Amino acid sequence: MTGTLDLVKTKGLKKSEINQLNRLLQKRLPPDRILTIDLAEAVAEISYQLRQPISLVANRRGQIVNVTLGQPWQINTPELRQVRVGPGRLCGHRVIYTRLAKSEKQAAKNGNKGNGNNGNGNNGHSVNKDNLMALAKNRLDLLAQVNVNTDGSFSRSHGEQSHLADSIEIIHLLPGRDSEGKLWKQMPACTVRMAQEEDFTALIEALEEEFQKQIPELPVRAGEERAILVGVITGDMDAWEMEDDLDELAQLARTAGATICRRFTQTRREPDPSFFLGAGKAQELALLVQELGANLVILDHELTALQHNSLQKIVGVKVLDRTELILDIFAQRAHTREGKLQVELAQLKYLMPRLIGKGTMLSRLGGGIGTRGPGETKLEIDRRRIRQRINRLEDDIVRIKNYRDTQRRMRNENHLPVIAISGYTNSGKSTLLNALTKANVFVEDKLFATLDPTTRKTTLPDHSTVLLCDTVGFIKKLPTPLVAAFRATLEEVAIANIILHVVDASHPHALDQINSVYDVLSELGAIDKPIITVLNKSELVRKEDLLWLISQVPNPVVISALKRLGFPSLMKKIQDMVEEVFPERAAAVTTKIMA
């Protein structure tokens, strides 16, 4: 016997009854039949005796792989849990279950969970709403509800055997939604004999063919991460702001390698403590996940451990919050030892308070977004060892900081002014550094292309030398553990003499990005440094928009790092600022030139 027996309601069962249930596991169905009269009768009979619903999970080979004393939504078998079904496919398992009209009425009277009417206007028996959810969430091949005759009126007339299995209702998923927005179709109730004659294989093939047709524009690649982005509009926020935030989240998700299949938003006064979304909305999200074949849900917020776990449980696929997504990108982008140490530290610090209840989840993490990084293999270690590791990393980072301080001191001895290129991610910092110094820094139209600071010399028009340092890009709501972990890197900005604040002037929210950079600069204690605002990507911006931006920022210079436009003005501006910050140096240069 290969299947499992799950006694959801275990109390008071006799050994003989357990044996009877176990015998159901030995039944075999012809692969092309939904069920047989023999099986329907057998399950109806035990269900009637026990006065409890029974669910059987059958695979496409006709084996019964699980028997659960309970309803389909109560099934908890690995066959259903571990299935990752792509769009256009069903999970390869169907559930045949009994419905005892009287016991359900009783349960409804007692206020039991999960006895809602689906209100489908069908003449057949009602199908429990939670069971329909189980159908959609697990992408079951179908549900076959065996209506058990409980009123004692089943016939023994005409010398026939008793028929406890009164009628059958078949419910299957629909490709897309019907005109009432339902994801499933309940076929009219039929006799058990008629249900036995249904060609199961033909039905499933036809359904899967329809499902495939629904998604021609969404071909699934092996290993692809198909994400639904989720935003909750709370407080004073309006829907447009949320859309802007989701635009950025989409860019982050694409940078991490995901394909975006849908955005999903909800307006609430405040986030739900259990699911972040409302419970009903979370169910809706679970259905959408199945409908679109998504395997990743990304929230534009930071979740608590409880919200994370309960939402992941309900949607059935991996859930990431904004911080985890950013940490993942940082993990992919860290190339130097220093960068790797800092990302690992940030990951572990983020993970620590969220360890509760994550034990099994951590060992389940197979790969993909949110699981990468230098810390990846260490994620299965326990809390104590994580703490030890954090201590070690912090020591290493202090050593790096000391090394950096020494380097800086040496720089200071050379009396070279240090100019930090900082700005929002993707604003063109590395392109500018490359153009000015031929530093060959990695440039890509994705967020956080540069993680490791690069310092290069460049010469000003007066032939004096300055050091230019490219730094990690900033972003709105930069996760606190990241700022903490990257302090050593970010401090390059704090110790610089002048800040070149590079702005993507073509971005529709350039001013918001400027303000986010100011926030991080304040956090680093660098906001009072002299700042030159470099309005980059100017070739993409209308003149009047540029003029407006110029009026909003300190010390503006308009350039295009890509087209190498505006560099002389920029160099002149830097030189003027250096002279202002180092007046004695200016005098020395003048003397040298005159001599």
- Note whether 426 and 537 are within 8 A (CB): no
Taking the least distance from each CB to ligand GTP, the nearer of 245 and 452 is 452
Q: Interface with ligand GTP by CB under 6 A: which range of 136-144, 300-308, 403-411, 441-449? A: 441-449
Taking the least distance from each CB to ligand GTP, the nearer of 220 and 439 is 439
Q: What is the dihedral of CA 257, 536, 530, 492, to 10 degrees?
A: 30
Is residue 566 part of the contact set for ligand GTP (CB under 6 A)?
A: no
Site string for ligand GTP, 376-415 (x = CB under 6 A): ----------------------------------------
Element (H, E) at 271: none
Residue 102 dihedral angles phi and psi, to the nearest 5°: -70, -45
Taking the least distance from each CB to ligand GTP, the nearer of 52 and 431 is 431
Is residue 562 part of the contact set for ligand GTP (CB under 6 A)?
A: yes
Burial label, 461 (beta-carbon count in 10 A; 0-12, 13-18, 19+) = exposed
Q: Which amino acid is at 345?
A: L
Is residue 447 part of the contact set for ligand GTP (CB under 6 A)?
A: yes
Strands (E), 241-360: 259-267, 296-299, 318-321
Is residue 256 part of the contact set for ligand GTP (CB under 6 A)?
A: no
Q: What is the dihedral of CA 200, 205, 210, 214, to 10 degrees?
A: 120
Beta bridge partners of 94: 58
Taking the least distance from each CB to ligand GTP, the nearer of 286 and 369 is 369
Number of residues that bind ligand GTP (CB under 6 A): 23
Q: Interface with ligand GTP by CB under 6 A: which range of 164-172, 243-251, 396-404, 444-452? A: 444-452
Is residue 437 part of the contact set for ligand GTP (CB under 6 A)?
A: no
Give the three-class secondary structure for 429: helix
Is residue 427 part of the contact set for ligand GTP (CB under 6 A)?
A: yes
Q: What is the dihedral of CA 161, 165, 169, 172, to 10 degrees?
A: -100
Is residue 500 part of the contact set for ligand GTP (CB under 6 A)?
A: no
Separation CA 423–CA 418 (nearest Å):
16
Separation CA 391–CA 352 (nearest Å):
13
Taking the least distance from each CB to ligand GTP, the nearer of 147 and 560 is 560
Taking the least distance from each CB to ligand GTP, the nearer of 141 and 504 is 504
Residues from 540 through 559 that contact ligand GTP (CB under 6 A):
540
Taking the least distance from each CB to ligand GTP, the nearer of 141 and 338 is 338
Q: Of 522, 516, 553, whose CA–CA distance to 536 is shortest?
A: 553
Q: Interface with ligand GTP by CB under 6 A: which range of 139-147, 227-235, 354-362, 438-446? A: 438-446
Task: Give least dist CB 568 to ligand GTP, A.
Answer: 16
Question: Of the candidates 29, 91, 230, 443, which one interacts with ligand GTP according to CB under 6 A?
Answer: 443
- Residue 133 sits at the vertex; the CA angle it makes with 127 and 138, to the nearest 5 degrees, is 125
Task: Give least dist CB 563 to ligand GTP, A.
Answer: 6
Is residue 536 part of the contact set for ligand GTP (CB under 6 A)?
A: yes
Element (H, E) at 112: none
- Note whether 36 and 56 are within 8 A (CB): no
- Note whether 286 and 293 are within 8 A (CB): no
Taking the least distance from each CB to ligand GTP, the nearer of 428 and 556 is 428
Site string for ligand GTP, 195-224 (x = CB under 6 A): ------------------------------
Taking the least distance from each CB to ligand GTP, the nearer of 160 and 445 is 445
Give Cβ neighbours of residue 157 (< 8 Å, ≥ 6 apart). Answer: none
Task: Give least dist CB 427 to ligand GTP, A.
Answer: 4
Separation CA 518–CA 238 (nearest Å):
23
* Token pair 């927005």: residue: 181
Give the DSSP per-residue string, 554-588: SSEEE-BTTTTBSHHHHHHHHHHHHHHH-HHHHHH
Separation CA 338–CA 434 (nearest Å):
22
Taking the least distance from each CB to ligand GTP, the nearer of 370 and 428 is 428
Q: Interface with ligand GTP by CB under 6 A: which range of 277-285, 369-377, 380-388, 537-545? A: 537-545
Q: Interface with ligand GTP by CB under 6 A: which range of 113-121, 146-154, 269-277, 535-543? A: 535-543
Element (H, E) at 467: strand 465-470
Q: Of 294, 322, 328, 288, whose CA–CA distance to 307 is shortest?
A: 322
DSSP-derived letter for residue 219 is P
Question: Of the candidates 74, 266, 347, 450, which one interacts with ligand GTP according to CB under 6 A?
Answer: 450
Is residue 290 part of the contact set for ligand GTP (CB under 6 A)?
A: no
Question: Of the candidates 430, 437, 454, 489, which one interacts with ligand GTP according to CB under 6 A?
Answer: 430
Task: Give least dist CB 530 to ligand GTP, A.
Answer: 20
Question: Of the candidates 167, 422, 489, 560, which one interacts with ligand GTP according to CB under 6 A?
Answer: 560
Question: Of the candidates 124, 428, 556, 566, which one interacts with ligand GTP according to CB under 6 A?
Answer: 428
Is residue 426 part of the contact set for ligand GTP (CB under 6 A)?
A: yes
- Note whether 488 and 334 are within 8 A (CB): no
Q: Of 140, 137, 116, whose CA–CA distance to 127 is shortest?
A: 116
Is residue 445 part of the contact set for ligand GTP (CB under 6 A)?
A: yes
Task: Give least dist CB 497 to ligand GTP, A.
Answer: 21
Separation CA 419–CA 469 (nearest Å):
6
Binding footprint of ligand GTP on the chain (CB under 6 A): 423, 425-431, 443-445, 447-450, 473, 536-537, 539-540, 560-562
